[in-house]
Structures are given as C-alpha cells and as structure tokens.
Amino acid sequence: MKPGRWLIYAAFACFLVLACLAAPALGVEGGEPNPAEAPIGILFHWLNFLLVFGGLGYLIAKNGPAFFGGRAAAISAALAQAAAAKAEAERQLQQAEEKLQRLGQEVAELRAAAQRESAADAERIRAATREETEKIARAARAEIEAAERAARMELKAIAAREAVERAKALLRNQITAETQATLFRSFVNSLAGSAN
C-alpha cells in the first residue's frame, strides 16, 4: 500500500471517530434529549462499530495474509529443518547402535585372533627352543668327540713317548759296546749288499 493512501484512510477514520464522539457532547449542551438514546444515535453507534471493525478487518485482510503467510513459511521451513535434523539424528543413532552391536562381535573376533596369534607364537617359540636345544646338543657332541679324539691322540703320543723312552732305557741296558759293533757291521754289510 502506498504511503499517501494510508494517510488518507487514517485521517478519514480519525474524522469519523471524532464526529461520533462529538455528537453526544453537542447534544448535552443544548439541553436537548440524549441523541445516543434516540434511534439515530444507536444507528451511529453501530455505524461507528462497523467502520472501526471494518477498517481493522480491511487492514487484517490486506496485510494479514502476507504476514501470516511469511510466518507460516518460516514455521514450515523451521519444521522441515527440524524434521531433517531429526532424521539425521535418527540415522546417526542407528549407525551408532549398529556399531555398538558389532562392537561385541569385533571384540570377540579380536580376542580369538589374539589367542590364535598367541598360540602360534608359543608354538614358534617351542620349535625355536627345540631347534636351539638340538643345535646345542650337536655342538656339545661334536665338542666331546673332538676332545675325545684329542685325548686319544695325546694318549697315543704319551704312549709312544713312553714306549720310546722304555725302548731307549731297555736298549741302553741291553746294548753293550760289542753289540753296537756287531750291529754296525751288519748294517754296513747290508749297505754293501744292496749296492751290488
């Protein structure tokens, strides 16, 4: 509505209200009977009522749909947003509940996997221990055999030395100068015989 028209309607409504209010006051001053009680006064009361409420009805009918339509649109938009937010919250709640339900299953699966890995690790450790024990036993056997061979060789060397020493001692006791000369001659003869 244009501002000039609005002023015209407001001025007309004020004039009517003043006219209706001034009429009874003018009637009382002249000593005449109260016109408000006369049929014309009642008519003016109803005319005043109709003008005021008609003007209000007009303003409400003119501006009300836009105001209430905008308000209704804002409320419906807010309701749509609330419905979307509720749907999103319900979706998230459902996802959380599904995750929570799967959580127990996942924990059980993780425990089972951990037990399997633990058993596999224990078996690997046992196998490694057995292998290491066997290696140590083989090394110990090899070392014992080497020590045994060394002891036998040393024992043979000692026995050989002892035999040589006893043979020397025996030869010293039994070989005299005469026996040495006989041995020397037979050696030289054997050399001469082999040279021919």
pLDDT for 172 equals 76
Q: What is the pLDDT of residue 24?
A: 61
Average pLDDT of the residues of the chain:
82
Taking phi over 0 as left and psi of -120 to 50 as alpha, with beta for the rest, 31 belongs to left
Cα(35)–Cα(179) distance, integer angstroms: 195
pLDDT tops 60 at residue 78: yes
For residue 186, the model assigns a pLDDT of 86
Q: Which of 13, 31, 30 is nearest to 21 (CA)?
A: 13
Flag whether pLDDT at 72 surpasses 80: yes
Contact in structure between 10 and 51 (CB atoms under 8 Å): no
The pLDDT of residue 4: 60
Residues 81-93 have pLDDT tens digits of 999 999 999 999 9
Q: Is 145 helix (H, G, I), strand (E, B) or coil?
A: helix
The span from the CA of 9 to the CA of 57, in Å, is 13
Q: Is the pLDDT of residue 19 over 80?
A: no
Binning pLDDT at 50, 70 and 90, where does residue 129 land? very high
Residue 41 pLDDT? 74
